[in-house]
Structure 1
Amino acid sequence: MLERRCPPFAEEYTVKRGDTISSIAQEFNTTIGVIRFLNPTININRISVGQIICVPRRVPTPICPNGTIYTIKAGDTFYKIADEFDITVRELQLANPLVNPYNLVVGQKICIPKKPAPPPPPPAIPPCVDGTYYVIKAGDTFYSIANRFNVTLRDLEAANPGVDPNSLVVGRIICIPKKVVPPNTPPCPGGAYYTIQAGDTFFSIANRFNVTLRDLELANPGVDPTKLTIGQIICIPRKPRCPGGKIHVVVAGDTLFKLAQQYDVSFRALVDANPDIDIENLRIGQEICIPPYEPSELCPTGKTYVIMQGDTLTSIAEKFVVSATDILKYNPTMAPSEFIPGKRICIPPEVEV
């Protein structure tokens, strides 16, 4: 028996004992009419065992999570199917990446994706009588907003009852209430007002807002920390960015070693004053806290020097016109091997010629 040649979208099938044209059509999920179309020279009503016929090529059922499997019918197109199920052609193509939309086969199974849910409605804008609306920006917290607009945290929360202060979303609109400062409220320049709640102590408040007890007491000179009352308003002082020191803005070429030398502070003190920075990767425009200079009590001359990369005991002595022996005498707790970059040393007086 001669081997048959089938179209590209069909495959060969060898008739087995017990087969009928109806059972074959059912097995390949097609119709008798399609099999007749694929085999125009065969009397499909008189097939025999061992005979080779053409049937539609088997197409695996697509993966269709949360969607619906659909069987292609005569006349179907992706545009027609998308319109029927109220989805876009693009969504249908994305759900069936292996299907050629221009070569659909009757009986082929495709995935009808689940129609995407409509976006949730934007959060309701709270009423803001006598107040001001504010749009949340990246990095905002209720504390920083209260501090910026000089209102109490409690008033800010009360003006926005549907807003979770711990889950602020950029772009959300909140209400900044009108500032109302009751009489006998302490001044709070640069800080934020806070309303005492049940269980509050100065210690718990200082811990919550990351300020020192001393700073909290200084910001509230007329408040007795042992006699706090619920509803009482106190001042939360702003935590100083660089207490006693100055801010340096990083420029090209800056390193911590260079800044330590430039401002005559120790490398260790510079690192301690900037615990959140990457000491190996300063960024241009980054703000660095330069701690205040604290002369060592162990340096009678009051003249100190921070050792830089490449310095040696000899080169330091030559730089300050002193002897290496005198440098060791004025730094009795240091061995020669401990003269390393970042260390602050005491410089003896210059040698008189």
Structure 2
Amino acid sequence: MVSGIAYAQQYKSHKVAKGENVYRIAKRYNTTPEAIYKINPTAKDGISEGEILAVPVLGNQEYKIHVVEKGDTVYSLSKKYNISVETIYLLNPEADKGINLGQILNVGKMEEKEVAAVDVNKEKGKDAVLDSLKIAPKEQEIIRYITHKVKKKETLYGIAKNYKITVEDIKKNNKRLYSEQIRKKDKLRIPVFANDPVGNETSKVLTDSRLSTTTRYTVKPKDTKYSIARRHGVTINELEQLNPNMSSGFPVGMQITVPTSVFVSLKDAVQPGFELYQVKPKETIFRILRRTGISSDSLFKMNPYLREGLKAGMVITIPKDTISISKGLSKEKYVDLGKNLYNFTPKKVAVMLPFSLDTLNFEARKQTESYLKSKQSLRIALDLYSGVLIAIDSAKTRGITTELTVFDTHRNNNREHIKNLIHENDFENTDAIIGPLYQSNAEIVASELKKYNTPVFSPASRKESKLHDNFFQTRPTNKILQDKIISFVEKDSISKNIVIIVQKGGKYEEVKKKLIAKFPNAKIAKIEEGNYLYEVRLNKALDKNKPNWIFLESNDVAMISNVIPLLNAKAESHKITLFTTDKNNAFDNDNIKNEHLSKLHMHYPSVDKEFDNKEIEEGEEIAPFVKRYKREYGSDPNKWAIRGFDIAYDILMRLGTADDLYKASFDGTTEYVENKFNYSKKLLGGYSNEAVYLIKFDDDLKLNIVE
């Protein structure tokens, strides 16, 4: 019986080819690196060419893989491999956010072919592993599972004997036991086979005539409990009664019991004026609401089971012809989360910032005021906090209430104090944490709260966390900023003379290498010792017959004040446009004239819009925040207060459109007063905000957003 084999876990022997790694092998067999490591624990220390690995597979699944090259798109790959675009997204859900150079994609199943036999005698130490790869021509059908809690002094042999199965039967269904020993209180999945008399009693659980005759059903990709129950004319509760030990994981290939006398077509069950829609990978309730244009109340009335959660592959009912409203969201699409709020349960938010209350002497007022003025981190913390409070108040007017808890992290690298804060307080049900301010402290909090999967939003750090999946970096990294401006120039660089002027030494050598790699035909203006540019060196790099697009990379005020006037003098005659990947504080120095930057139409990437408060106040959409802030605090909000508002308000709006933040982090770009957010999950680590502004100086000294 083939269906029995489809569910029992099988393995393939894979001989490591040159240049392969565990991640690439996992993609080929549609599994995960973790699953391979469990069976091959030594692979964590690295794998070598010619080594044989045991790879877990379902059925005979093996996929073609493609390493993304320059110019590749999902559409071009679909044509190249003769598969649909939808298939690529189904096999690679992460491609929904775009594909990147070097990324490994599944591009269709391998054609079935005979696998050459492995000579086990030639592979010392692999006999036991290869024995487990041998698939019996016929296996017993598993109809359900029993959970066994390991008692003191129990052995695998004794447990197997008790259930009248083999040790290998237990290991196959608890794969960690291939590399680990059982321990007291372990929970093991014990298979019940079709020839076991216990299994035959399942169909007698219910006396309903609809369920009197049953058959076996194999779970298919995209199946859900709801879709199976609906198609067979039973409720989810009745389906669970028919299958009391149904695995919570609901894996593809699992055998379950269903009625044979009733089968209702999903299409036949749909009322006139409605249609069925299959939920796509990573799709959220908010996205469906936006695509259909219906209210959350209407969606839940049509599909009451959605309150239990949305899953990819689920088939739901929607009004006919509404899904055509939108083809989907792209990274450049701005969304208004406030239009689709449906989750109005109170949100639990914690703020962790360095208020340094332990160092303040509140009885000595002058001393305290002096300290507040001199302590930059404290000023930033207070400004961020003031913005957060306005955001909470603003969200309340939209029906989102917040239970706010505030913690003082004191100072940077304060591991013991932060650990004590976490251990002494309950964070298990916290929806989000804003802070800490310093990267080192934020890493500690993310690490300590990883067990609860609590999202930690770093408000200021430029550095990604490659360790923690619950880390949200709200500030785009320097790399993201660089890539933004370089990509903009690259799109229109063919007819331009690209000139690179880069400060000597340190980090700027890396920037220079990156620019040269992207623009191999660019001219390099030689910088003298002391970071000085002679006019004759500049003249050699410029071209009178082409527009000159110039990258200036420096944080040296003396160098910038030397280069900018030289460029300004030739701005019109040589059609010069200025670019920089990092508009740092040196460009704001009084020695650098904004009139020159305006004449050179300088372009630069920015985390925020950088508009002054007068310009903000003129904008209808953002004036309410500024007015509210002035009313509360008697002054204009600075960039940190605005940042605190934007981060907190975005978090609360996302929580209002989803069950948790992980389900609401991929719904396009959101924008508020001065900041925008588009979070992307990294392969290693947490989420990074990739939303960046591209700003340029116009002729009238005004700053305009290019992208």
Smaller-chain TM-score range? under 0.3
Higher helix share: 2
Larger-gyration structure (1/2): 1
The TM-score with structure 2 as length reference comes to 0.16
The TM-score with structure 1 as length reference comes to 0.28
